[in-house]
Structure 1
Amino acid sequence: MGTARLDTTDEPCGGILPSQAIERLIADGAIALDRPAAADQVQPASLDLRLGTKVHRVRASFLPGAGRTVAERLEEFTLHTIDITAGAVLETGCVYIAPLMERLALPAEVAAATNPKSSTGRLDVFTRVIADGARSFDQIPAGYAGPLFAEISPRTFPVLARPGSRLSQLRLRRGEPRLSDAELVALQQRARLVDDDAADVRGGVAVTVDLLGDGRGLVGWRAKRHTGVVDVDRPGAHDVSDFWEPIHAGRSGLVLDPGQFYILASREAVQVPPDHAAEMTPFDPLVGEFRVHYAGFFDPGFGHAEGRGAGARAVLEVRSHEVPFILEHGQTVGRLVYERMLERPRTLYGELATSNYQGQGLKLSKHFRAP
């Protein structure tokens, strides 16, 4: 497999590759696919990654380390291998490693990062991508050539997966696309990234939690334990009441119980302009010992008028660590980091039939029927 060079306009500050550049890399063989790409696999600024035909149940999470391959480490750590051709249930509390259908031969100037898809995060399926020689999860160095593997660990619901199931997504970067604080201030003034004129944009746009809720006082959902299986490939197939219990506004905030998983929403309406992409920081120990986001990518056009959105809430996938923690309305829970696109994507988020979360408020994953 040859190494492709990117045919894009020179951008000294760098940027995120749009859908048309990802398609060129696929055509050139820099992204190789075991099966032809699905019609909606390429998103405005990311590529969905698909499970292969097998998953390995392993003793524990691991990184291969410099000079070692994931396949070599699997020989050490695999307990048993599961053929998922006909579908297989991945159990809670277990760690699985799945070879992916996509492999890379990146140009020397292009690096990649991965994250769970939005629907994966909202199911509390902890998913990270590993590359050969990796010393960190979800980070793929510029010029990497080799296979990709997904680490999968369902935390709350057992899930049914099969070849082609998409739990993770990959984003490609050239150079340094992240905006400085000064650039972010200017973009907020020009494009109104969040509907708060006093928003704090130091180190990213501050996102706060909504604990007032809608007209019924609904502020979120708490996951039930010991439920049935969620089929990750069947949108709208499951009853909300079988998996979730509603949370309503209280007088003294919301006490996060360690070990419980919550779906909440941001107080602010968020938007991503067509020539930018965004990512939510998953955990900030300075604001509390809890995690607010597994799936961190926001595609160009999310919540934006040109993508037929009028602002959209950021859904927060919340889990407290070790100790109970009290969340209060308007408390800062994370930050949105904005990055430049190398080019405007051919299609924006919201213009795709699979844009399940455009214009969203408080919303569970696409697998559940609207309550």
Structure 2
Amino acid sequence: MILSDRDIKKYLEEGKLVIHPIDDPQKQIQPSSVDLRLGNSFLHFKVEGRAYIDPTQDSPQELMEIIEIEEGKPFFLRPGEFVLGTTIETVKLPDDLVARVDGRSSLGRLGIIVHATAGYVDPGFCGQITLELSNINRVPVALYPGMRICQISFYKLSSPAETPYYKKAGSKYHNQKGPTASRLNIDFCKKEEK
């Protein structure tokens, strides 16, 4: 069951669901989702001189550089470019809700993709949402920190998760702040330790 705006507001009022800060509930709370806004930090791959990225060998965190955008200034996402962005809002899910992040259709119509594959948010997750931004248009698109960039919808589970994200061993992104690079290499490090 997808939560309606009425249920989203109820969950927020009761503190079961946390989305902070919501500056303009009238604008951000939609009929069955909440619009989240773009933060001002981006992670960009430094790939000059690299033939490929090997997640068993490379630490993606070390292959990325942070770009901070001043208030009121745009970040230009070039055609074919991929960067990690973040939401302004921190989201905290209860153990009985799962969430899905999708791009806003208005940005999709400009060729902006908000997530490559990771639109799913586990029950018990807490943190800012990392966005996998890419531009499939043929011209750069200006993105402004503070603009509504994506929407998050919520699905009620049949029962609370037995092991929510914050209790799961190996949860690599719990309490993340800002755009967070892939930590896939940690999975391979753990295999080598065994």
Q: Which of the five TM-score ranges fits, normalised by the shorter chain?
A: 0.5 to 0.7
Give the Cα–Cα distance (whole angstroms) in 2 for the partners of residues 74 and 48 of structure 1.
29
* Residue identity opposite 2:145 in structure 1: P
Could you tell me which runs of 5 or more consecutive residues in structure 1 were left unpaired when the two chains were aligned: 1-14, 65-72, 130-135, 177-371
Q: 1:24 aligns with which of 10, 15, 23?
A: 10
Aligned with 1:55 (options 35, 38, 42):
42
Q: Pick from 136, 140, 159: which aligns with 1:155?
A: 136
Matched, 1:175 2:157: yes
Matched residue, 1:143: 124
Q: Secondary structure of 2:43's match?
A: strand
| Superposition map of 1:178-193 within 5 A | none
State the 4+ residue runs in structure 1 displaced beyond 6 angstroms: none
| Match of residue 119, structure 1, among 83, 106, 109 | 106
**1:87 aligned counterpart, secondary structure:** coil
Larger % of helix: which? 2
Percent identity over paired residues: 24
1:35, 1:101 within 8 Å by CA — same for their partners in 2? Answer: no
Partners of 2:131 and 2:70 lie apart in 1 by: 14
Q: What is the identity, as a one-letter code, of the residue corresponding to 2:39?
A: G
The structure that has the greater radius of gyration is 1
Letter in 2 for 1:105: K
Match of 2:115 in 1: 128
Residue 91 (structure 1) aligned with residue 78 (structure 2) = yes
8 Å contact kept, 1:120–1:167: yes
Residue 6 of structure 2 aligns to a residue in which SS?
helix
Task: Answer whether contact 2:36 2:148 (CA < 8 A) is retained.
Answer: yes
Give the counterpart letter for 1:85 in structure 2.
Answer: E
Give the RMSD, CA atoms, in angstroms: 2.6
Match of 2:65 in 1: 79
Q: Between Structure 1 and Structure 2, how many residues are aligned? A: 146
Q: CA deviation at 1:140?
A: 0.8
- Shift of the 35–154 alpha-carbon distance from structure 1 to 2, 3 Å rule, reads same
- Within-5 A mapping of 1:39-50: 39-50=26-37
Instruction: Tell me if the contact between 2:16 and 2:93 (Cα under 8 Å) persists in the aligned partners.
Output: no
1:322-347 Cα deviation digits (max 9, x unpaired)? xxxxxxxxxxxxxxxxxxxxxxxxxx
Give the equivalent residue in structure 2 for 1:320. Answer: none
d(CA) in 2 for partners of 1:44, 1:165? 19
Deviation at 1:74, TM superposition (A): 6.7
Opposite residue 117 of structure 1, the aligned amino acid is R
TM-score by length of 2: 0.65
Please give the per-residue CA displacement for 1:280-306, whole angstroms capped at 9, x wherever unaligned: xxxxxxxxxxxxxxxxxxxxxxxxxxx
